[in-house]
């Protein structure tokens, strides 16, 4: 006798109670294999692909794309199916699987499944473009895509709409789970009493160190930038300034020093700002840290960061210098005591021994939670970070 299974939106972990269904990768009548990707959903933290725990034929799609779905809600019915999951092992979601089984943090499908071939009814498009098109009531078939292989992007949708605005010339942009989370985090951040200290440093010796390291075999294929050295200096300086790696306990009204340095890297993408963190960064060599920064940045820009790396951060570094900005005064990542901002490294006149020379100079900004750190503690910590970037020998002693 034929049986049927309703696949419910699984618990995505980390307190997530819902997700937006972005698109189906199957249709009614399709034969589904075990671990074949059924749909792509977007949480407040990342894009996630849902693999099927069943084999059978798709009988009904129970949720329309663009719908916000609570965890536990039936989303698809698969007919004549069998549940082939190991009852002792939970189903692994692509992008959320155990790190021990995934040496790379980049997303990989559990079972290769080709996307449906583009047809006049199904234009190739990014998930954000499909969502924007649905919410604006425009057909993808009316839009010329500028993305890879002619895929329609969110920018193409906006362009096709001509940024149609209400009568007051304002334009309302579709939001996403990540942007909503970013907005909520920034509001939460402002509840902490924040202050900032600034320091401009001559980092010419560190730039020379970078050039030497880039030519070494150990760093072949890795992105080695001023951010990498600044991140290493930040982590190394915490060893003698442990309060930097603390957080304020609202319930008890005191500060708690964390055992490990989970270093957050602020990454901007078209989907919004995310801050994935490198676990136990204090235990990593410079090579390992460079590799971790590269992998997390690539994953975050693709929107496929493992949720494990999106929670539990203890300290953050952000690099506004990549945008040609001299410096900034960032807001704290909620639950952390400091964030270090790295400005652009540029050649400027600098006084050395009463003589003016052209040097590579950078402005560092440290924003801190004044409940956890005093101004003196913050200033001494920032000075020590700058000292390591100014003196490569001091920095190398911590590598």
Q: Catalytic site residues?
A: 370
Spatial separation of the C-alpha atoms in residues 303 and 306, rounded to whole Å = 9
Spatial separation of the C-alpha atoms in residues 263 and 292, rounded to whole Å = 10
Tokens (6 digits) for 113: 């499944």
Do residues 22 and 115 touch, judged by C-beta distance below 8 A? no
Tokens (6 digits) for 357: 């020379």
Spatial separation of the C-alpha atoms in residues 111 and 284, rounded to whole Å = 33
Bridge partners, residue 365, by sequence: 198, 341
CB atoms within 10 A of CB 211: 10
Pairing of strands 315-319, 263-265: parallel
Tokens (6 digits) for 43: 């949480």
Q: At what angle do helices 375-390 and 204-214 cross, to 10 degrees?
A: 50
Closest alpha carbon to 95 in 10, 26, 30, 185 = 10
Helix (H, G, I), strand (E, B) or coil at 379: helix
Pairing of strands 338-342, 315-319: parallel
Residue 398 phi/psi, 5° resolution?
-105, 5
Do residues 368 and 341 touch, judged by C-beta distance below 8 A? no
Bridge partners, residue 125, by sequence: 152
Closest alpha carbon to 191 in 385, 374, 370 = 370
Tokens (6 digits) for 214: 């880039």
What DSSP element (H or E) covers 380?
helix 375-390
Radius of gyration of the chain (CA): 24
Q: Which residues, 6+ apart, have CB-to-CB distance to 3 below 8 Å?
A: 79, 80, 81, 82
Distances (CA, A) of 330 to 80, 120, 139, 200, 338: 55, 46, 40, 16, 10
Do residues 96 and 102 touch, judged by C-beta distance below 8 A? no
């Amino acid at each position: 006798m034929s049986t049927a299974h309703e696949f419910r939106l699984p618990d995505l972990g980390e307190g997530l109670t819902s997700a937006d269904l972005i698109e189906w990768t199957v249709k009614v009548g399709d034969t589904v294999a075990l671990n074949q990707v059924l749909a792509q959903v977007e949480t407040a933290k990342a894009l996630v692909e849902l693999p099927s725990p069943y084999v059978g034929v798709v009988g009904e799609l129970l949720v329309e794309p663009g719908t916000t779905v609570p965890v536990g809600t039936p989303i698809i019915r698969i007919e004549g199916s069998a549940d082939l999951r190991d009852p002792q092992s939970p189903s692994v979601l692509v992008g959320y699987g155990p790190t021990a089984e995934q040496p790379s943090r980049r997303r990989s499908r559990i079972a290769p499944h080709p996307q449906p071939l583009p047809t006049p009814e199904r234009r190739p498009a990014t998930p954000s473009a499909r969502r924007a098109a649905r919410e604006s009531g425009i057909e993808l078939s009316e839009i010329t895509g500028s993305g890879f292989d002619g895929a329609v992007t969110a920018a193409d949708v906006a362009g096709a709409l001509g940024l149609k605005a209400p009568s007051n010339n304002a334009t309302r942009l579709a939001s996403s789970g990540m942007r909503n989370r970013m907005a909520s985090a920034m509001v939460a951040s402002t509840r902490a009493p924040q202050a900032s200290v600034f320091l401009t440093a001559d980092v010419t010796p560190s730039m020379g160190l970078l050039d030497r390291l880039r030519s070494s075999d150990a760093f072949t294929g890795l992105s080695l930038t001023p951010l990498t050295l600044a991140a290493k200096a930040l982590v190394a300086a915490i060893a003698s300034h442990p309060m930097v790696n603390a957080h304020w306990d609202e319930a008890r009204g005191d500060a708690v020093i964390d055992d490990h340095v989970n270093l957050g890297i602020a990454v901007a993408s078209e989907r919004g700002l995310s801050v994935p963190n490198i676990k136990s960064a204090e235990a990593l060599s410079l090579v390992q840290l460079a590799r971790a920064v590269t992998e997390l940045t690539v994953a975050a820009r693709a929107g496929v960061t493992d949720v494990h790396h999106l929670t539990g951060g203890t300290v953050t570094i952000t690099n506004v210098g990549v945008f040609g900005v001299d410096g900034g005064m960032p807001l704290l990542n909620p639950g952390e005591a400091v964030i270090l901002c790295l400005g652009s490294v540029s050649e400027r006149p600098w006084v050395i021994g009463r003589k003016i020379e052209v040097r590579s100079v950078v402005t560092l900004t440290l924003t801190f939670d004044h409940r956890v750190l005093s101004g003196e503690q913050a200033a001494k910590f920032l000075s020590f970070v700058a000292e390591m970037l100014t003196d490569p020998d001091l920095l190398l002693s911590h590598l």
